[in-house]
Amino acid sequence: MLTTLVIKDFAIISELELSFDDGMSVLTGETGAGKSIIVSALGLLLGGKSSTDIIRTGAEQAVVEGMFTVDHSHAPAIAMLESIGIDVGDDEFVVRRVIPRKGRGRIYIGGTLQSVTTLRELMRTVIDISGQHEHVSLLDEAKHLAILDKYACIERDVEEFGRRFAGYSALKRERDALVASLEERTRRLDFLNYQIDELSGAGLRPGEASEIAQELHNLSHAEALQDAIKAAISDLYDDESSIVSRLGVHVNSLRKVSSGQPSVANITQTLSEALSGIEDAVYDLRRLDIEEASPQRLEKLQNRLSVIDKLERKYRVQGDELIAYLKQLIQERQNLVLSDERIAELEQEMAEEETWLSDEASELSRLRKSAAEKLATEATEGLHLLAMENATINVVCRSVSQFGEMKASGGDDVFFLLRPNPGEDAKPLSKIASGGELSRVLLALKRALVEKDDVACYVFDEVDTGIGGQTATHVASMLKEVSRCHQVICITHLASIASYADAHFHVSKSVVNDRTQSTITLLNESERVEEIARMLGGTSITAKTIAHAAEMLAQARESSAPKKA
């Protein structure tokens, strides 16, 4: 619902702030006073095209702001606001549109910069302006199906259908992908079998490549190691003049002369310990078993390492990772082998879902066609009350014949059509040329949808074009009826419509400091009587006109008052 509208430097409006309540509000005033400017300003808040022509002369920019309240049960608006990060915890949000004389215009929703596309999508769920085609949600044929579903009270059924249809579509995509890759799967299986046989046949062990490399390194140095050990044993122990022999002589000599010489005794003890250590080392050297590097062993190890190196380069993984890669290949082969079974499972599941979806789509079609007849009848009755006695509204529900043509909403397409006169073809609502005629058609439809339409605010412009007398009274009564469930803002020239309003605004134009400007005033009760009298009598307002105006207001209140049980 629109609660506050602020307009600055827009056309002939310098600065204006209006507050709206629920119920029915009307704007009246002389032609050219600026009533349509209000509608144009609202159009900008709905994502309408902007132009620098609307900027007030002498101003650098025009600004339009609107504060809206939204009920948390209004799912479309809440979902849209949440998707763009707007917190609606306090049940209200602000839309601000800035049109500068130079540069690009800016749009803010809840204080954040947004695109005109986002603005349009959001506001389509909040407000309708009848008289400007681009803002009327009922003119969007893509929304007709959802409107009918809401009227038929089958939204939850359609939601469940959509969920099951999405599941079916996922099954179909998986099945189609498996079937489409059948030839590729065969080639892949052959290739996997070759790779698995090759890697399995290699008999790889974890860490094998490192072990072989270490062993080859050891064998390549075996002969030199043997020579070094023999030379060490000889020099240290076996030779007549070995280190052990000579060191033993020196230890014995020092011991004989070290009595009473502690420092010499300590050195002698150190040399004695070194002698024992050398003897132990020689003992260990004699016990070493150095594997000889036989040509056969070297060739075997080199061949094995060559096999591993070839597999590493071929599969582009390290030797220790080849075993894990083999497990991956085996798992992939198993998945491909099982894919034929998976295709059969998928087709069985699809068949079951197709049966359910077909049956449910038929039931949805039956409910929609029944609701379409009722909606068309109610809307047509409304048109007849609005001086369009020969017009007929048709709600066409076309069902597809093939399952493959179904959508997430079922198998139906819905269109609202108007046949203005007998013998003429029914036409889409968007093809209606007359603004007044369009407003009446939309009013009739909205009356029928009054308790089920998501849109919170209706703005009617030109709804009284070409009507008068009893028809105007019917229009007024219908607007009042709609306003019990939705906020209604109506621009009118007819006293019979204005008299039904809960709030009455008067639009006037004046010249201040050689500048034309428009002002809007909320009228009190006596001012309403005077304005109704002006609308009835023009420039000649008499006591009788005043009395008539007061009587008209009283009658409107009486006729629109809730009936007592």
Domain ranges of the chain: 2-126+455-560, 156-436
Nearest to 489 by CA among 78, 45, 12, 99: 45
DSSP H helical ranges for 46-74: none
- From 57-66, 409-418, 435-444, the region with the lowest mean pLDDT: 435-444
In 240-391, the DSSP E strands lie at: none
- From 33-47, 92-106, 290-304, 347-361, the region with the lowest mean pLDDT: 290-304
Q: Which residue has the tokens 């132009």?
A: 51
Amino acid at 65: E
H or E stretch including 15? strand 13-19
Nearest to 458 by CA among 478, 474, 473: 478
Question: Using CA atoms, how far apart are residues 51 and 55, in angstroms rounded to an integer?
Answer: 8
pLDDT category at 500 given cuts 50, 70, 90 is: very high
- Virtual torsion, Cα 493, 499, 501, 505, nearest 10 deg: 50
What does the DSSP assignment read for 174-231?
HHHHHHHTHHHHHHHHHHHHHHHHHHHHTT--TTHHHHHHHHHHHHHTHHHHHHHHHH
Query: In this model, does residue 229 exceed pLDDT 90?
Result: no
What is the rounded average pLDDT of the residues 488-499?
91
pLDDT category at 7 given cuts 50, 70, 90 is: very high
Cβ(503)–Cβ(520) below 8 Å: no
Query: Which residues, at least 6 apart from 227, have a Cβ–Cβ distance to it below 8 Å?
Result: none
Give the Å distances, CA to CA, from 555 to 183, 201, 530, 531, 550.
82, 101, 16, 16, 9
pLDDT category at 331 given cuts 50, 70, 90 is: confident
Q: What angle do CA 399, 404, 406 make, to 5 degrees?
A: 40
What is the rounded average pLDDT of the residues 450-464?
80
Query: In this model, does residue 320 exceed pLDDT 90?
Result: no
H or E stretch including 338? helix 322-385
Query: Which residues, at least 6 apart from 540, have a Cβ–Cβ distance to it below 8 Å?
Result: none
pTM above 0.85, yes or no: no
What is the rounded average pLDDT of the residues 400-424?
90
Both structure tokens of 43: 């159009």
Question: Using CA atoms, how far apart are residues 83 and 233, in angstroms rounded to an integer?
Answer: 86
Task: Give 2-126+455-560's CATH code, choosing from 3.40.50.1220, 3.90.1150.10, 3.40.50.300, 1.10.260.30.
Answer: 3.40.50.300
pLDDT category at 488 given cuts 50, 70, 90 is: very high
Question: Mean pLDDT of all residues in the chain?
Answer: 84
